[in-house]
Structure formats: C-alpha cells, structure tokens
Structure 1
Amino acid sequence: MDEVNVLAASYLLRRSQVRRRAKRRRFWVHPILRRRLQHGEFHHLVQELRLDDGRFQRYFRLTRAQFDVLLARVGARVSRMDTNYRRAIPAAERLSICLRFLATGDSFRTIANSFRVGTSTASIIVSDVASAIWDVLVEDYMAVPTAEDWRCIAEGFQERWNFPLCCGAVDGKHVVLRAPRNSGSMFHNYKGTFSIVLLAVVDAQRCFRVIDVGGYGRTSDGGILANSAFGRALRNGTLQLPADRLLPGAEHRGPQPHVFVGDEAFPLRKNLMRPFPGRTLPRDRRVYNYRLSRARLVVENAFGILASQWRMYWRPMELQPEFVEKCVKATCVLHNFIQKSNSASAIRGPPDGDVEPLPGLGRVAVNNSAREAIRVRETFAAYFSAEGAVPWQNNV
C-alpha cells in the first residue's frame, strides 16, 4: 500500500511540474508590446488623424469634438492607476480601442496588434469602456420618457410623418453571433442564424427612446415585447402616456389614446397599432396600412443608421451574449449622442409623398384582439381617409 501511495505522489508531482513549465511565460511583456508608445496606432496614426476631421470621423464614427466630449464624460470611470510594474493605458487610448472595435467589428487580436496591447487586455478594455459609455450617457440621451416626453414625441410624429397621437415606432433587430456553447436552440432564429434581439422604440427623429437587449433569437418580436419591461408597462398602463386627446380636425370622433406603431409581428392593442391583415382590402384600410407603414419607417431607418455607423453588426460576433449586450447598448446610446449632436442633419426627412410602403403588409397573421383595440384602429382608418387625409396618399 505504501508503494502505491509513493507512485501516486510521484505522478502528481511530475504532473504539477509539467503544468508549471507549460504555464511559464517567455516574456512578462512581449517586446512588441513594449514599443506601444513608439509604434502603437493611438500614439501615431490617431494623432495624425486629429489634423483631418473627416478622416478622424470615418475612423472613430465620431468627430474630434464629439470624441473629446465623450472622453470628458467617461475618462474618470475608465482610468486606471500606474503601478510599480507598468504604466496604465491612458483613458483616451482605452476609449479609442473600444470605439475602434465597435466601428469595425474586427477581432480582439487584430485590434490588439494595431494598438500594441495584449489580446486579453483589449477584450477587458472594450467591456469596461462599453459599460462606462452606457452608464454615463443613458441619463442624458436615453432616459425613461415622462408624460411630457411622450407628448413631444407625438407632436414630432404628427408634424413629420402625419400620424397623430403616435409615441413611437416599435421593432426588433437580430444581432448575429456565434452559437454560444451549450445553448441548444435558444439563440437560433427563423433566418437560420444565432442571435440576440434588440427591441427598440424610436421617435420621429430616429433616436432610440427605449431599448431591450438580450432576448433569445428564437423568440418572436411579439414575445420579446411581452417579456420586456416596456411591454409589461404598456400592458399594465404604467408607461405614463399622456391622456387621451382629440384627433386634429376630428372632434366628433371623440378622444383617442396615444399609440405606438409596429408591424404584423406585434399584437393589436389599445396602445399598439398594427396593419390590417389580408391582401384585398377596402380603400380606407389600404390607406391606413400605408400611413402606418410610413410612420414605422423611422425604426427601420434607425436600425440602418446604427448598422452603417457601427460595423460590428456586419458580421457574426464571436463573443458571449452578455458581452454583446454591453456593446449593443453602447452603440445605441452613442447613436443618440451623435444624432442629437448633429441635430441639423437629424431633422431632415424625406419629401412628402416619396415614401413607399414597407414590404410585407399583405401577409399578416390574424390574432385575437380586444374590442377597444379594434375600435381605435378603425377610428384611425376612418380618420386617415377623411379629415386626416394627405394629398399624395391616393397616388401611392
């Protein structure tokens, strides 16, 4: 028995020595990384880009002024202290690494080689800075709307998109990622890819007002809405929507509730309008579907702008869903930050009559709806063909 114990002990000792040798690092800091200050992208290319605002904006998706404002907000949160062993990476460089990842979607190894930092260091920096961006900007650029905010949004939809009492357009976007380990079919969506869902409420200026990130790709947009905090508040009547109001020029129709507009994936509710189902529809219902489609374009446009600005959406992300959620939230609040900074360009809309209905309005599944919701939709349909008609709707 003693001989067996001795053999076992010697085996474990040899095994621990092999592991220790395997984990032994050749360098404390690789020589390539030591030359970060001399050859790193931030210390040379980025400083040269500051001399050309156009190239700087294409590189970071932010102008120099926007970058500096953002740095002033997040700098204190992402700064690290120097130690006796090494100097900390400055806050400006950490922000540059994060923005470059969001703007390109390149692998951490590629980003790390460009900025001359470790691959794991780049990953940690992106995670920390993305969280900091969300934390410091959300109160100013995506705060929970109040009743007065909803009223202002409704005025914007009426002025720009000719849809009164509309507090926002709702839709979902699939953010594609590599299949997480041991996740089964939870993230597998109807497009045949793996994803998490970004559910968003967008205002008339194409800014995100409410988002919900992290829903499983297999869940429908309606299911994501039902499980989200926004959906529960809408269902329970705790969303602080303004009181019912009269439609402009249609006092005889009585007060109507403020509503959100969505596509056929969402259920019909008193405060959530969706298209009429079917292909052969009466004229007033076809007009309603067009007007709803026209108002709903803002959420499609917002998703398009988001993906074109932050090209991490262009390829499947080989990251854990929790990491992807941080990046998605950061890009959404940065989208609002940029849109509101560029308010002059954000208020431009398409010329009247140039908007085509969104495809797919003819193939709508029937679902059971409350009588009140049906009444509200019928009232909007009648209004759009009478008092609320616009000159070009009959030509579309």
Structure 2
Amino acid sequence: MSAEQMDELLSLLGPELTRQSTNVRAAIEPKQRLAVALRYLASGDSLVSLAFSYRLGCTTVRDAVHLVCAAIEKMMMERFLPRPTEDTFRVIQVGDFGRTSDGGVYAGSDLGKGLEARTLHVPTSTSLPGAAHLGEMPFVMVGDAAFPLKPYLRRPYPGKNLTQQKRILNYRLSRARMVVENAFGILASRWRIFYRRINLHPKNVDKLVVAACILHNFLLAPVENQRLLDEEEQQGRHMAPDRMV
C-alpha cells in the first residue's frame, strides 16, 4: 500500500475511527488504529505481538481491528463492493460454517437463489471470441462435481472412462476454475491473515473477511495483481482444485 493510498483510506475512514479523549487517557489517533488493523490483516501476526509492537494493550488492539473492519464495511461497501448490476457481477458470501459443503453454501446464497429464480440480470447469450460459427452461447457458472447440473451451471463429467471430447471439456472447465483459485491466492497473498487461524470472536470474523475483500478492490492495480498472480502460478497451481467460480 502506497502512502497516497494510506492517506486516501484514512480520509474515508477517519470520522468513523475518531474517539473522544477522557480525563483518564487520551484517545488513540485514527491513523494508528488503521495502521494496527492493516498490519493485522496483512501479516497475520497475533494480537499479542501487535500489542507489543505498538505498545498498546491487547484489548485496545483487538478493538481497533473490530472498529476498522466495521468502518470499512460501512463507509466503503457501496463504492468498492457494490451490489450486482446489469454490467458488473461482484458478490461475496460470508459467514457459512466450514462443515457446509460448497454446493450447500452456493444453494443458500443470494446468488444461488437469484440464479435459480431467474431474478438476476444475467447478460444475454453471445458468440465466443473467434468462434462466431458456433452460434450464441449463454453465460454460465462453473463448478466442480459437488454442484448440480443446471442450465446456468456447468460441472465436469463424472467418472474416469470418458471419451476424448468429455476429457477435453473437463480440462477446459478445470482451466476456467483456475480463475477462482487465483483470486483466492491473490487475496491471501495480500492479506496473510487468511493463512492463519483468525483469533477473533466468530461474530467479528465476518466483518474482517468483508473488509479484506473491500480493501482488495480498493488496492486493485494491474501491476500488483500480475505480480501476485505470477507468484501463484510459480508455486505449481496449474490445475484448479474442486472449487466453484
């Protein structure tokens, strides 16, 4: 994050991070609250370690993380992670338990319900680049074998004894799923808190995840994203695991 981006972020969140000083102690400056929270997200360091580094109490550090994440969601959601429109499709689903299957999370999400009910503004069918002779093709979601086959959702053919055409299709779907794997990789590379167990109360973790996604969009830069993408590919992630795009 550049100094200019830090200043812009502070100008957006400053009013929400300002607290009144008391006769007992002076309030922490908004810039320090923001710095503590960003360090927590970017490094994944423990609250105790951050408290020692910034010479603050553990409770103060924890409260700063909670306050900043809530402020990011409140002040930046509509600008950097707006609701889907006819032109853009940007959706996150936060708050499901780890024991819930990917298919279950999708079915219970607003996106899954909207596609099933045909209430979303999905773009109309169009021809593929360089393949106009194939006719118009619909826009679809791409999932793995855990997802049901739908008119708007494609999944790979099951089994091993497949024809050449089916194997090619499965490979192409796997390549398409690389998009989501790379997206998760870029997010985690930027906010290394996702490489560790998040030592916060579960009720506050949702806001942390939302805040990280908003900050990801805020910091979006082609050069930086290409660097992170190159790092992911160098680690050998050439085939996407079972995820959904």
TM-score, with structure 1 as normaliser: 0.55
Is 1:301 paired with 2:182?
A: yes
The amino acid across from 1:145 in the alignment is P
Identity %, equivalent residues: 45
2:37 matched residue in structure 1: 98
2:240 matched residue in structure 1: 358
1:343 matched residue in structure 2: 222
Shift of 1:302: 1.3
Is 1:122 paired with 2:61?
A: yes
Question: Residues 28-56 of structure 1: CA distance to partner in whole angstroms, max 9, x if unpaired?
Answer: xxxxxxxxxxxxxxxxxxxxxxxxxxxxx
Is 1:78 paired with 2:17?
A: yes
Contact 2:186/2:225 (<8 A) preserved: no
Contact 2:43/2:193 (<8 A) preserved: yes
Is 1:276 paired with 2:157?
A: yes
Unaligned segments of structure 2, at least 5 residues: none
Matches of 2:240 and 2:57, distance apart in 1 = 46
Q: 1:242 aligns with which of 108, 123, 136?
A: 123
1:199 matched residue in structure 2: none
1:109 matched residue in structure 2: 48
Shift of 1:236: 0.9
Is 1:333 paired with 2:217?
A: no
- Matched residue SS, 1:216: coil
The amino acid across from 2:222 in the alignment is S
Classify 1:109/1:245 alpha carbon distance in 2 versus 1 (closer, same or farther; 3 Å): same
- Matched residue SS, 2:144: coil
Shift of 1:241: 0.7
The amino acid across from 2:219 in the alignment is I
Classify 1:360/1:144 alpha carbon distance in 2 versus 1 (closer, same or farther; 3 Å): closer
Once the two structures are overlaid, the 10-residue window that deviates more, 108-117 or 234-243, is 108-117
TM-score, with structure 2 as normaliser: 0.86
For the aligned residue pairs, the C-alpha RMSD in angstroms reads 2.5
Matches of 2:22 and 2:240, distance apart in 1 = 57
Shift of 1:82: 2.2
Matches of 1:333 and 1:136, distance apart in 2 = 10
Is 1:259 paired with 2:198?
A: no
Question: Residues 353-388 of structure 1: CA distance to partner in whole angstroms, max 9, x if unpaired?
Answer: x99443579xxxxxxxxxxxxxxxxxxxxxxxxxxx
Question: Residues 284-312 of structure 1: CA distance to partner in whole angstroms, max 9, x if unpaired?
Answer: 22222222221211110111122222121
Matches of 2:98 and 2:153, distance apart in 1 = 23
2:100 matched residue in structure 1: 219
Runs of 4+ in 1 over 6 A off after TM superposition: 347-351
The amino acid across from 1:128 in the alignment is L
Higher strand share: 1
Aligned residues: 238
The amino acid across from 1:358 in the alignment is A
The amino acid across from 1:343 in the alignment is P
Shift of 1:272: 1.4
Contact 1:103/1:310 (<8 A) preserved: yes
Q: 2:75 aligns with which of 132, 136, 154?
A: 136
Is 1:317 paired with 2:218?
A: no
2:112 matched residue in structure 1: 231
Matches of 2:190 and 2:217, distance apart in 1 = 12
Shift of 1:247: 4.2
1:286 matched residue in structure 2: 167
Unaligned segments of structure 1, at least 5 residues: 1-61, 151-208, 362-396
Shift of 1:263: 2.0
Q: Larger Cα Rg: Structure 1 or Structure 2? A: 1
Contact 1:105/1:315 (<8 A) preserved: yes
Matches of 2:24 and 2:195, distance apart in 1 = 39
Matches of 2:57 and 2:217, distance apart in 1 = 31
Matches of 1:100 and 1:250, distance apart in 2 = 47
Contact 1:294/1:355 (<8 A) preserved: no
